[in-house]
Amino acid sequence: MVSKPIRKIYYNSRADENVYNMIREVMPPGFELVALDSDNDAERRSKIANAQVAIVAATPLTGTLIEAAHDLQLVHHQGVGYQDTVDVDALKERRLPLALTPEGTTTPVAEITIFLMLAVLRRLTFADSELRQGRWHINSLRPVSRNLKGRVIGYIGMGRIGQASAALAHAFGATGLYCDLVDTLDRQRAAALGLRFATLDEVIAQSEIVTLHIPSSPAARHIINADVIARMKPGAVIVNTARGMLVDENALYEGLKSGHLGGAGLDVFETEPPKPDNPLLLLPNVVVTPHIAGGTRDAFQTKMRAIFDNITRFYSGRELKNQVEL
């Protein structure tokens, strides 16, 4: 009896052993995980060389790596934001398929979107830091703290994550408006979430909180810039759990420093990780997290099960789910 070949699954991001073990826990028989020991491109080129499948997360799969992957047959993104993490031209040249993993991401990103709103409105991280240093702000934060209930939230992008965020915000008593390239939200659903479709200009001018839920693209770069910030309501809050390139960080800093903006909640940055001297990190009305919006154990396990189900489909000759048309 001829045994089936063991297919090598290369994971392009350096992670600790606990993450690799979570992958192995859901990996079906017949596959072998190829994990990195260091965050080093030379090791990446060496280890991807004999892999049949590459799983991509935050670390970009570059053209150089794809060229080095002589046996590569499939690239599977751990999420959906492939535009800035996969060299699509290199895949086209090799005629390699790319599949995405929408499963698992929506809930944790929506939850942290709401968390950032609350943390900024209530000055949570500032209060926590001050208390740990012996300073008790029982009254001094009252003039600058606000409820989420009653706020008008502007959503730039209304896909899965935008809708899930709006549902959570609506449960808190917030209403809102949204814009998107195509309005796919039916009127009944929008009304149930307290939303209405609007132009980008209306979203910017009328919202007390602006939250971003669109992918990266050349056209979307710095969609939040100095001109846009100047047209926002005094005291408005910006939340970004999408991509760092959507926000001009210099303009954001100036808007916050001047007092025109009330605060910002950022899970993503133009450069990741941000440099220690990034001035946004010094502002007390900015809450930051290290690109962890989708990074829960529950989400990761859901993603890995979906990925290996799709890889199994691929090798059994069935159609890939969530394949990108390149």
Contact 226, 201 (CB under 8 A): no
Q: According to the model, what pLDDT value does residue 183 have?
A: 86
Q: According to the model, what pLDDT value does residue 3 have?
A: 58
**Residues 299-308: what's their mean pLDDT?**
96
**CATH number given to 106-288:** 3.40.50.720
Active site residue 272: yes
Rg of the chain (C-alpha set): 22
Place of tokens 């934001």: 81
63-95, pLDDT tens digit by residue?
999 999 999 999 999 999 899 899 999 999 999
Residues 173, 168: Cα–Cα separation, whole Å: 9
**CATH 3.40.50.10800 corresponds to the domain 7-104+296-315:** no
147-190, pLDDT tens digit by residue?
999 999 999 999 999 999 999 999 999 999 999 988 888 889 99
**Residues 107-124: what's their mean pLDDT?**
97
Beta bridge partners of 265: 239, 287
Q: Which of 54, 44, 105, 57 is nearest to 85 (CA)?
A: 57
Residue 4 has pLDDT above 80, yes or no: no
| Amino acid (1-letter code) at residue 283 | L
Q: According to the model, what pLDDT value does residue 181 have?
A: 87
Q: According to the model, what pLDDT value does residue 5 have?
A: 79
Place of tokens 């846009």: 228
Distances (CA, A) of 50 to 15, 72, 296, 306: 20, 7, 30, 23
Parse the chain into domains and list their residue ranges: 7-104+296-315, 106-288
Residue 40, Ramachandran bin (φ over 0: left; ψ between -120 and 50: alpha; else beta)? beta
Single out the catalytic residue among 76, 77, 146, 243: 243
Cβ contacts of residue 104 below 8 Å, gap of 6+? 294, 298, 299, 300, 301, 302, 303, 306
184-218, pLDDT tens digit by residue?
888 899 999 999 999 999 999 999 999 999 999 99
Residue 102 has pLDDT above 80, yes or no: yes
Residues 312, 296: Cα–Cα separation, whole Å: 24
Single out the catalytic residue among 14, 291, 305, 313: 291
Cβ contacts of residue 100 below 8 Å, gap of 6+? 76, 77, 79, 80, 82, 322, 323, 324
Angle of helix 106-121 relative to helix 124-132, nearest 10 degrees, comes to 70
Furthest C-alpha separation in the chain: 77
Average per-residue pLDDT for the chain? 95
Place of tokens 């040249």: 93
Token output for 216: 């990266």
Residue 253 has pLDDT above 80, yes or no: yes
Cβ contacts of residue 174 below 8 Å, gap of 6+? 148, 149, 150, 151, 152, 153, 194, 209
Residues 72, 79: Cα–Cα separation, whole Å: 19
Residues 242, 211: Cα–Cα separation, whole Å: 9
Residues 104, 118: Cα–Cα separation, whole Å: 23
Residue 56 has pLDDT above 50, yes or no: yes
Residue 190 DSSP class: H
Q: According to the model, what pLDDT value does residue 1 have?
A: 46
Q: According to the model, what pLDDT value does residue 2 have?
A: 46
Residues 60, 88: Cα–Cα separation, whole Å: 11
Measured at the CA of 264, the angle between CA 142 and CA 56, to 5 degrees, comes to 140
Phi and psi torsions of 264, nearest 5°: -150, 145
Residues 303, 162: Cα–Cα separation, whole Å: 19
264-303, pLDDT tens digit by residue?
999 999 999 999 999 999 999 999 999 999 999 999 999 9
Q: What is the DSSP string of 217-258?
A: -GGGTTSB-HHHHHTSPTTEEEEE-S-GGGB-HHHHHHHHHT
Residue 129 has pLDDT above 60, yes or no: yes
Contact 137, 127 (CB under 8 A): yes
Single out the catalytic residue among 135, 272, 297, 318: 272
